[in-house]
């Protein structure tokens, strides 16, 4: 496995693979890797001849400088997970390497910007869109892999690939969960032991809402029950809990019978912002 830090080295590392016409898969990450990321690498390994993982804590997608500062940076242990998983190239650039000048361009994702994550994290998807576009240009992959835990990110990136005609297949992979249901996330390591015990209740809330909608309750009735659910666990500070259409993430009044329903939530617990979703 090669670890490269510059665009030039990355180009060089990819050159021979390209000349042999090998298929290239990309797994973009911000590091602090866990088994959820490794499941993306495994899928990428199975479907491509060359596996590239990027590790870059992208400053332009953080609206909160404290959150950016606290984001774990664990390149060495990340590489220890990537190598046995069959990764060929790790691209781990510095912020100056990725942004010799700060981008002046901004990407408007339309309605997707103004709901859920977009509403609470100003400029977040613009930052994601720009960095992922850069990675797509630098690696030029045949396939790129993202976790469905960030459901809205996947929707935004689908729009990016479609509207800018990136010649690649975007693959969304299922969320990996701990045995108690908590979605795997780099942020989980920041939870205290006490908070970690409570954290799976976020997934339990999603399950409960799903059951209520399937029983025929409206979104408003379901929201009401979920509000009481969270009131009983004051350690949680929910930011949003949205029942939406899977395709455009617009709020819906009842379970979607034509297509899929998505329930998405974000909540603070022990000062850590957790997100999760369920699709059915």
Q: Note whether 139 binds ligand PAF by CB under 6 A.
A: no
The DSSP result for 92-105, as a single string, is: ---HHHH-SS----
Rounded-to-integer distance, Cα 163 and Cα 194, Å: 45
Nearer to ligand PAF, 42 or 218 (CB): 42
Question: Which one of residues 30, 53, 249, 278 is an interface residue with ligand PAF (CB under 6 A)?
Answer: 30
Minimum Å distance from CB 29 to ligand PAF? 5
Rounded-to-integer distance, Cα 268 and Cα 230, Å: 12
Q: Note whether 176 binds ligand PAF by CB under 6 A.
A: no
Question: Which one of residues 25, 28, 36, 238 is an interface residue with ligand PAF (CB under 6 A)?
Answer: 28
Minimum Å distance from CB 19 to ligand PAF? 28
Minimum Å distance from CB 186 to ligand PAF? 8
Binding to ligand PAF, residues 53-92 (CB under 6 A): 58, 61
Q: Note whether 276 binds ligand PAF by CB under 6 A.
A: no
Q: Note whether 238 binds ligand PAF by CB under 6 A.
A: no
CB 212 within 8 A of CB 246: no
CB 249 within 8 A of CB 236: no
Of 185, 247, 221, give the one whose Cα is nearest residue 29.
Answer: 185
Q: Dump strand ranges (E) for 123-260.
A: 143-147, 169-173, 236-245
Tokens of 92: 């781990």
* Burial class (CB within 10 angstroms; exposed 0-12, middle 13-18, buried 19+) of 251: exposed
Of 50, 42, 65, 35, give the one whose Cα is nearest residue 183.
Answer: 35
Q: Note whether 131 binds ligand PAF by CB under 6 A.
A: yes
Q: Which residues pair with 169 in a beta bridge?
A: 143
Q: Note whether 39 binds ligand PAF by CB under 6 A.
A: no
> Residue 276 CB: number of other CB atoms within 10 A?
23
Q: Note whether 128 binds ligand PAF by CB under 6 A.
A: yes
Minimum Å distance from CB 56 to ligand PAF? 6
Question: Which one of residues 3, 24, 25, 29 is an interface residue with ligand PAF (CB under 6 A)?
Answer: 29
The residues annotated as belonging to the active site are 37
Assign residue 110 a region (left: φ > 0; alpha: ψ between -120 and 50; beta: otherwise). Answer: left
Nearer to ligand PAF, 185 or 265 (CB): 185
Q: Note whether 118 binds ligand PAF by CB under 6 A.
A: no
Rounded-to-integer distance, Cα 142 and Cα 47, Å: 10
Minimum Å distance from CB 154 to ligand PAF? 9
Q: Note whether 48 binds ligand PAF by CB under 6 A.
A: no
Q: Which positions lie near ligand PAF, rule CB under 6 A?
A: 28-30, 58, 61, 128, 131-132, 150, 153
């Amino acid at each position: 496995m090669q670890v490269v830090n510059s665009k030039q080295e990355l180009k060089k590392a990819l050159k021979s693979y390209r000349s042999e016409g090998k298929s290239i898969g990309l797994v973009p990450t911000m590091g602090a890797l866990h088994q959820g990321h490794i499941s993306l690498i495994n899928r990428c390994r199975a479907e491509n001849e060359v596996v590239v993982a990027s590790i870059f804590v992208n400053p332009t997608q953080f609206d909160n400088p404290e959150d950016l500062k606290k984001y774990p940076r664990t390149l060495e242990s990340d590489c220890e997970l990537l190598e046995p998983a069959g990764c060929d190239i790790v691209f781990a650039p510095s912020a100056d390497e990725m942004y010799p000048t700060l981008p002046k361009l901004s990407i408007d994702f339309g309605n997707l910007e103004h709901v859920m994550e977009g509403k609470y994290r100003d400029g977040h998807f613009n930052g994601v869109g720009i960095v992922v576009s850069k990675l797509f240009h630098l690696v030029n992959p045949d396939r790129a892999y993202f976790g469905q835990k960030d459901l809205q990110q996947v929707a935004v990136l689908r729009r990016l690939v479609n509207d800018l005609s990136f010649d690649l297949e975007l693959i969304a992979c299922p969320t990996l969960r701990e045995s108690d249901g908590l979605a795997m996330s780099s942020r989980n390591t920041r939870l205290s032991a006490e908070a970690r015990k409570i954290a799976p209740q976020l997934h339990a809330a999603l399950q409960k809402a799903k059951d209520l909608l399937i029983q025929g309750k409206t979104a408003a009735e379901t929201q009401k029950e979920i509000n009481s659910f969270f009131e009983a666990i004051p350690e949680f500070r929910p930011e949003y809990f949205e029942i939406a259409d899977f395709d455009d993430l617009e709020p819906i009044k009842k379970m979607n019978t034509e297509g899929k329903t998505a329930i998405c939530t974000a909540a603070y617990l022990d000062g850590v912002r957790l997100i999760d979703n369920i699709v059915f």
